[in-house]
Structure 1
Amino acid sequence: MAPKSFIVTLKDSAPDIEVEKFKKTVGNLGGSITHEFSLIKGYTVKLPEELHINKLKDGFDSMIASVEEDKEVSIQK
């Protein structure tokens, strides 16, 4: 199964030590951070398809501002 990609935005108030724990947990769950945004505490996270995003939210829900699946966007003419 192919990995799924999500954009995870953390709250501005998230302490740096908790952000580091979050990033480490992504790896511990078999995922990876493929992009780190510079203006916000946001990351593109790839997770194995069998791992539901809620598994990542466990323990970090209070510091996560939003999670959305990273997919291609297009406009119709």
Structure 2
Amino acid sequence: MKFFGFVLGALALVSGAIAVDVQKSVIITYKENTPDSVIRDAKKAIVDAGGVITHEYTLMKGFSAKVGEKTLESVSAFSENYATIEEDKVVNAFGI
């Protein structure tokens, strides 16, 4: 019985060590009055955490990125007064 407990404990440790931050594709847009430093800091936090900026928008302030959920939480926390964050997904006019 002790061996079984040891195996369960070892499996729990291994699964925690192997767990990776799930990457999500997101679009982050900012209000017009957002300081450039807020956007620059958000991009830096994403890249420093292993995320990728996939596109920078020119007609509006914002960008799209592939980012881990933990990093996304921190970016949304320090940009909450300025940013809108939504999942990047395919949409169409007919809802199909």
Q: Secondary structure at the match of 2:29?
A: strand
1:27 aligns with 2:80: no
Partner of 1:54: 73
Residue segments in structure 1 that go unaligned for 5+ positions in a row: none
Amino acid at match of 1:68: E
- The AA in structure 1 aligned to 2:34 is A
> For the residues of structure 1 that align with 2:88 and 2:61, how far apart are their CA atoms?
16
Q: Which runs of 5+ in 2 are unaligned?
A: 1-19
- CA drift of 1:51 comes to 2.9
| TM-score (normalizing by structure 1) | 0.77
Structure with higher Rg: it is: 2
CA distance in 2, matches of 1:52, 1:34: 16
Could you say which structure has the higher strand fraction?
Answer: 1
Question: Runs (4+) of structure 1 moved beyond 4 Å?
Answer: none
Q: Which has the higher contact order (CA 8 A, sep 6+)?
A: 1
The TM-score normalised by the length of structure 2 is 0.64
Aligned length: 75
* Structure 2: distance between partners of 1:76 and 1:16: 36
Distance 2:70 2:46 in 1: 11
Structure with higher helix content: 2
Q: Percent identity?
A: 33
The alignment yields a C-alpha RMSD, in angstroms, of 2.2
